[in-house]
Structure 1
Amino acid sequence: MGFLVAAVVLLGALTVLNLFLTMAVMRRLKQKDSGPAPDGSDIPDLPIGSRIPDFRAESTSGTVVATGDLLGSESVFAFFDTGCAVCKTTIPKLIDHADAHGLKADQVIAVVGGRESAAAYVDGLEGAATVILEDSLGPVASAFSIPGFPAFVVVDGDGRVVRAGTQSSLTAKA
């Protein structure tokens, strides 16, 4: 009888372990980047040619940034999160892109999620970008349907997405 109880307990423990491992694999597969969409964007809800979503946010300098303010010239949106290990290393690439395309700070919008440790990001972006601080996946990142960090969206003067995705979207040819 004791052998039977031990076998049932062992079988139950193995079943629970299997359930946890299966859930972990499924979560990982959901997070895994399946590559860019046929149009070149790897942000599914923001395909190339689509209009950027409406948003309104206050920058660290106190100026209000809204969708309409960015029409008329190319803009770049950069989305970072302070919990992202790679995000801080992409700041120089963003600044290089802005310099190479002659973009002013009001044309480079850097959205930093995770207010508690954002000082290093603000210092690194100061003068080169308009910085918006918000909670992780806050209102602006949610409006753009950002699936992960870092993410970049290059927009033309009409407010249409030219490129969108990871750091490679900054270096890709339009």
Structure 2
Amino acid sequence: MPFLVAAVVLFSAIATLNLVLTLAVIRRLRESPPAARKVAADPDLPELPAGSPVPAFHAEALSGRSVSDKSQSESEAVYAFFDSGCSSCRPTIPRLLDYAKRNGLNPDQVVAVVGGEAADAGEYVDALDGRATVILEETLGPVAAAFSIHSFPAFVIADPGGIVRRSGDSTSTLVAAAA
């Protein structure tokens, strides 16, 4: 019986200590400023970090317009990479278009590279047509290869001088660039 009493007392002491420490952590979190609790943005793509030049590329858009790193270097540009077989790509299109609208970008400044089978890219083309310059290519085709894109979706935001301002593989890239 004395062992049982000792075990209950020890267990109660440990539970009380746990409760006190948990309450102290909660209090500390409530006292910290919101900026200190802010989650860090996703890092840039390692192959294309901020400050690096936009890679050299050349492609023809669905509109017939020739698109290259040189043609895009005179104004801010957003490069978005999608794949027609990517289930998480389609939901990011409205966020891309919202970013372009909020920042006053015209369709020539928003380059959407859609990889995969042309027959499967229809819904991407429909969603982006008239709102972005659409380039169709095979999955991980020449433009994606020039940008060292390995996963989809991916976003690269460049300044008017053709220097990468931000890059990443989620729409938080767009949010961080807008801030």
Identify whether the pair has TM-score above 0.5, normalized to the shorter chain.
yes
Q: 1:159 aligns with which of 139, 155, 162?
A: 162
Match of 1:70, as an amino acid? Q
SS in 2 for 1:111: strand
State the Cα deviation string for residues 80-136 of structure 1 (Å, max 9, x = none). Answer: 001110101110001000000000000000000012300110000011100000000
State how 1:109-124 maps to structure 2 within 5 Å.
109-114=111-116, 115-124=118-127
Q: Secondary structure at the match of 2:104?
A: coil
Query: Number of matched residues?
Result: 136
The reply to whether residue 136 of structure 1 matches residue 139 of structure 2 is yes
**C-alpha distance in 2, partners of 1:130/1:62?**
10
Percentage of identical aligned residues: 54
- Give 5+ residue unaligned stretches, structure 2: 1-40
Bigger CA radius of gyration: 2
Q: How does 1:1-174 map to 2 (within 5 A)?
A: 36=42, 40-41=43-44, 43-114=45-116, 115-166=118-169, 167-173=171-177
* 3-state DSSP of counterpart to 1:80: strand
Structure 1 regions of 5+ residues with no counterpart? 1-34
Q: Deviation above 6 Å: which 4+ runs of structure 1?
A: none
| One-letter identity of the residue aligned with 2:77 | S
Local SS of the residue matching 1:172: helix
Give the structure 1 partner of residue 19 of structure 2: none
Following the alignment from structure 1 to structure 2, what is the Cα–Cα distance between the partners of residues 129 and 87?
A: 15
